Amino acid sequence: MFVFGLFSQVLVYGAIAFLSPTLSLHLTEYDGFDEFWVGMYFAVPSVIYVLNTPAVTFYCRVMSRRTVVFIGMFIFCISIFMIGTSPLLQMTDNSKFIFFGLVFLGFSAGMVVIPVFPEMLASIEARFPEMSVEDLNNVAAGYFNSCLGIGEATGPIFASVMTAEIGFRHAEDILGVLVILYLVFYFILLGNLKLFKCGCEEESENVDDQFIDANDNLLKSSKEQITDYIAEDFIRSRLSASGVVVPAEKVSLSSLHSQENRRSSLSLPV
């Protein structure tokens, strides 16, 4: 799942960045489109993304995270063909298709990029259980954001080259086919996608719970060790001040307490 998560980042952010140098020029070819309407169209995916983001939590309660990612990528693929008013699917070259394609683009992007990150964390932890929490977060976040940058860098480059060679609509078709290939491999290699929660998700959540419990136990143990160390150092200092010889090597805390009690009893007045 880790590799699929990285590729999903490249595809989603690459497809969004794909529109930056090309969509505005394509929209101006339609009658009545000026700078205002181009700006309004570009704002549509962001607005829908913000509105749909809180609902992704609900989707992940009803379905497994992997299923949410798969459905999100499927809708994302449809949005790309609609934005390009796909000649491959014989769509009419109409600005309304582009508008609804941008709506689906913003809707589906959140369904992919939000649940895929915890899935990546779970897969790394299952593969490398000896990794610490800090290393786990650093590795996942590093790769995750690197692929985000790769997508945002390669998207405009390929968009410019392909649009110049074959036109905007055919370039979007090629991008849509790439997403279809991703979906095919995703389904074949991960598979077992069910509408409602499946065993892989429950297992992943159990792993997350075990990871949190282990982390809490580690913190509790560390606090106890620090408390014992402070108490031992305090008693050692009091015994040394009273002239009692304390071994330099580590002595149990109960033994130090016994010496401290004997010292106190001897120092009481008769």
Encode the chain (270 residues) as per-residue pLDDT tens digits.
777 778 888 888 888 899 988 898 899 888 888 888 888 999 999 999 999 999 998 998 888 888 888 999 999 999 999 999 999 998 988 889 999 999 999 999 989 988 888 888 787 777 777 777 777 777 777 878 888 889 889 999 999 999 999 999 999 999 999 999 988 888 887 765 554 454 444 444 454 455 445 545 555 555 555 555 555 565 556 556 656 555 555 555 456 456 555 555 544 443
Q: What is the CATH number of domain 2-197?
A: 1.20.1250.20
Q: How is the chain split into domains, by residue range?
A: 2-197, 215-266
Encode the chain in three state secondary structure.
Answer: CHHHHHHHHHHHHHHHHHCCCCHHHHHCCCCCCCHHHHHHHHHHHHHHHHHHHHHHHHHHHHCCHHHHHHHHHHHHHHHHHHHCCCCCCCCCCCHHHHHHHHHHHHHHHHHHHHHHHHHHHHHHHHHCCCCCHHHHHHHHHHHHHHHHHHHHHHHHHHHHHHHHHHCHHHHHHHHHHHHHHHHHHHHHHCCCCCCCCCHHHHHHHHHHHHHHHHHHHHHHHHHHHHHHHHHHHHHHHHHHHCCCCCCCCCCCHHHHHHHHHHHHHHCCCC
Tell me what pLDDT residue 188 has.
82
Instruction: Record the tokens describing residue 111, joined without a space.
Output: 């369904």
Tell me what pLDDT residue 199 has.
40
Tell me what pLDDT residue 101 has.
94
Tell me what pLDDT residue 92 has.
87
